[in-house]
Structure 1
Amino acid sequence: MKKVSNRNPFSSFFGFSLVTLLLIFNTGLAQDSAAETEAAATTEEIVGGDLVKGKQLFNQNCAACHSLNRKMTGPALANVESRLAEEEGLDKDWLYKWIKNSPAMIAEGDAYAVKIYNEYNQAAMTAFPTLS
């Protein structure tokens, strides 16, 4: 009795091609993953802080009133430090003071603090005196 093969002659070629493509793409993805890990480590070194704790802090204290890229109850926070420096001539110390006690700055008559207060319907930002 003669054995009949049900295999298509091209099936071996396509199977080999599929395996080869999967190996190529898998290698490429592994390289991307290594690059992402390296980039994340570099970012943490540049920032100099704990990114997970920073995100948690933002979500607990800031996200209710602020977004990164659009105005909400308060102003957008993307690049806030550089925007304050370029547009208003204010430094990081002014921003820290504002975050810790904006109502006091408004009461003292700080020009930019009063401007922000009036721009956002005279709603003072919650004071966060324990933030460092």
Structure 2
Amino acid sequence: MAEILELPGVKARYVLGMSWRHEDAPPKAKAMRAMGAERGYWGVVYTTSADAVQAGFCEPVKGIAVAAKLRPLAAVVGGAHPPPWNGLYDLGSGRYWFVAVRDGQQVIPDGDQVGTLDEMEALRNA
């Protein structure tokens, strides 16, 4: 399930917990809307620093009316280290974020998840 993260001193709000897939080219807005609508999801297209194109999807987040104002944190941080890499981050209140990045600075399909420490360590060690 997707969650919103607000960082102190940063105006942008970020979404965590998206499902990612590689695209050969940026999908048209109409195609993204259709892909999202078929699942009832929000969608975003992101081009990495290595020019790889990804589409990310998540269920709508309660209390957020306009998804366009959110930034996908996994995609944003994907270029922070040479690939492949993964990280496990403490969000507080017993919640952890797991992010995993492959070649082309792309987030792997299940590499952007939020859950308990045990759940996220199991993903990291899989």
The TM-score range, normalised by the shorter chain, is under 0.3
For normalisation by structure 1, the TM-score amounts to 0.26
Q: Which has the higher contact order (CA 8 A, sep 6+)?
A: 2
The structure that is helix-richer by fraction is 1
TM-score (norm 2): 0.27
Q: Greater CA radius of gyration, 1 or 2?
A: 1
